[in-house]
Structure 1
């Protein structure tokens, strides 16, 4: 398989991972919980990002097990971005879906997740 074919396959795999982790497997408990003030956000957010990290770990174990640690990177970046987006003291204070102030952080969140995936894909290709 050529590098370009591998990259395209990884883009599709990580896009599916994002859909599964952020939309199909994210429960209402996770969504509500990661928006809590104080330490109450930690467990629901950790469970949510653990789903992502475990899927990334599975991908790494199939394609390059020596890069297992990129699952921890995915966890850390996803945790940080989702907390920034959901925290009532940060972007989470923008809750009106009819306003641009809600959608800009939402788009930023998705962009950061995709850039994380691109870095992971770049690592997979570079270290093949």
Structure 2
């Protein structure tokens, strides 16, 4: 297997594990509250955690430091907005976990995050490998 492919798969694995922890194990009540409010410190904190952990994943696979910082900051902003869009949509629609539409919004949110990781790996392949 080509080294670039191996490293890309390791990076994808690291990003998946980081997503599991940042989205499901490390969220605090403040991060989960008021998801439809745009300027919300909890969401900023949650998205920042994602950015920091993506930075760590990139550094672990040997990506250049400046590249890793830029990607971490971009992910912070992108993650913040993906979560805000889902939160705003779900609150306006009054979705609860009992509604199928809640789970469709949740799935779309998770897909958007996963596509972000594909873009990160693509950028890593173009600019950092």
Q: TM-score normalised by the shorter chain: which range applies?
A: 0.7 to 0.9
Partner of 1:45: 43
Q: 1:94 Cα shift?
A: 3.8
C-alpha contact (below 8 Å) 1:46/1:79 kept by paired residues: yes
| 1:27 paired to 2:25 | no
Q: Which runs of 5+ in 1 are unaligned?
A: none
* CA RMSD, Structure 1 to Structure 2 (Å): 1.7
TM-score of the superposed pair, with normalisation by structure 2: 0.85
Q: Which runs of 5+ in 2 are unaligned?
A: none
| 1:4 paired to 2:2 | no
C-alpha contact (below 8 Å) 1:94/1:101 kept by paired residues: no
CA distance in 1, matches of 2:52, 2:9: 21
C-alpha contact (below 8 Å) 2:51/2:76 kept by paired residues: yes
CA distance in 2, matches of 1:84, 1:54: 21
C-alpha contact (below 8 Å) 1:34/1:45 kept by paired residues: yes
C-alpha contact (below 8 Å) 2:11/2:58 kept by paired residues: no
TM-score of the superposed pair, with normalisation by structure 1: 0.85
Count of aligned pairs between the two proteins: 123
| SS at structure 2 position matched to 1:69 | helix
